[in-house]
Chain A
Amino acid sequence: EPEVTQTPSHQVTQMGQEVILRCVPISNHLYFYWYRQILGQKVEFLVSFYNNEISEKSEIFDDQFSVERPDGSNFTLKIRSTKLEDSAMYFCASAAGAGELFFGEGSRLTVL
């Protein structure tokens, strides 16, 4: 069964370092998303991406964040200069249309 895959599963980084989280969405999907979940809190929307551009972003998605679809399969989230409060589980999701979202297993980011 097709699935969303994310790498790395866990990344530890120093504050101020750049981090890139990678996602391979389901192959025929057209809508791509990043969400995050701080430990013990709700899953929060970060950004959605369609037709090679950001279609919506939340207040969390400030200038430190960027997304890219560098080729036909990968979808990346970059955090330019990590802060302690960026520590969270980051989930990638994809959808064929406006319906069901399928999520990956997540990338746990720990900022020291």
Chain B
Amino acid sequence: KQEVTQIPAALSVPEGENLVLNCSFTDSAIYNLQWFRQDPGKGLTSLLLIQSSQREQTSGRLNASLDKSSGRSTLYIAASQPGDSATYLCAAKTGANNLFFGTGTRLTVIP
């Protein structure tokens, strides 16, 4: 069964800093990997999707990379802002339907 782990569990950085969030998965036979943002008590907002054949995807200040062979993905956030404060979840899709989620990294950007 796919296990997804995210490190660190929580991260606090000053505004303007660049940061990296890590995600690892045990089964490298994934279809894709998706990064989400979750604000407290809210739903999941999709940030980036990386297909298994891709190495990275970029959207604005966000860049996600994927290394299937080592079972790792990273989410890079450039020039962090207080509005980036949220929990970031990665989810690996194995099989046709099922997303396996990590427990998330809770990010706090200090003004």
Listed residue (B31, B42, B93, B98) with the most chain A CB atoms within 10 angstroms of its CB:
B98
Known: A55-B96, A100-B49. A42 touches B43 (CB 8 A): no
In whole angstroms, how far apart are the Cα atoms of A103 and B91 in the complex?
13
B25 within 8 A of A: no
A75 near B: Cβ within 8 Å?
A: no
A101 close to B46 (CB less than 8 A):
yes
Residues of B close to A33: CB separation below 8 A: 97, 99
Q: Which residues of chain A in 5-39 are interfacial with respect to chain B, using CB atoms and an 8 Å cutoff? A: 6, 31, 33, 35
Specify the main secondary structure of chain B where it touches its partner: strand
Main secondary structure on A side of the interface with B:
strand
Most chain B CB atoms below 10 A, which of A42, A58, A99, A105:
A42
CB-contacts of B26-83 with A (<8 A): 31-32, 34, 36, 41-46, 49, 51
Instruction: State in angstroms the CA–CA spacing of A33 and B44 once bound together.
Output: 13
Nearest CB to that of A33 among chain B residues?
B97
The reply to whether A103 and B46 form a contact with Cβ atoms under 8 Å apart is: yes
Is B43 a contact of A104 with CB atoms below 8 Å? yes
Give 1 or 0 for each of A99-112: 1 = CB within 8 Å of chain B CB. Answer: 11111111010000
Contact with B along A48-64 (1 / 0, CB 8 A): 10100001101000000
Question: What is the CA–CA distance of A6 and B44 in the complex, to the nearest angstrom?
Answer: 13
CB contacts under 8 Å to A, within B1-46, are 31-32, 34, 36, 41-46
Q: Mark B95-108, 1 if CB is under 8 A from A, else 0.
A: 11111111100000
User: Is A98 a contact of B44 with CB atoms below 8 Å?
Assistant: no
A43 at the interface (CB under 8 A from B): yes
Across the interface, do A45 and B46 meet the contact criterion of CB distance under 8 Å?
no
In the A-B complex, the 5 residue pairs with the closest CB atoms = A48-B97, A105-B43, A103-B44, A43-B101, A56-B97
What are 9 A-B contacts defined by CB distance under 8 Å? Answer: A6-B43, A33-B99, A48-B96, A55-B97, A98-B93, A99-B49, A103-B43, A103-B44, A108-B41
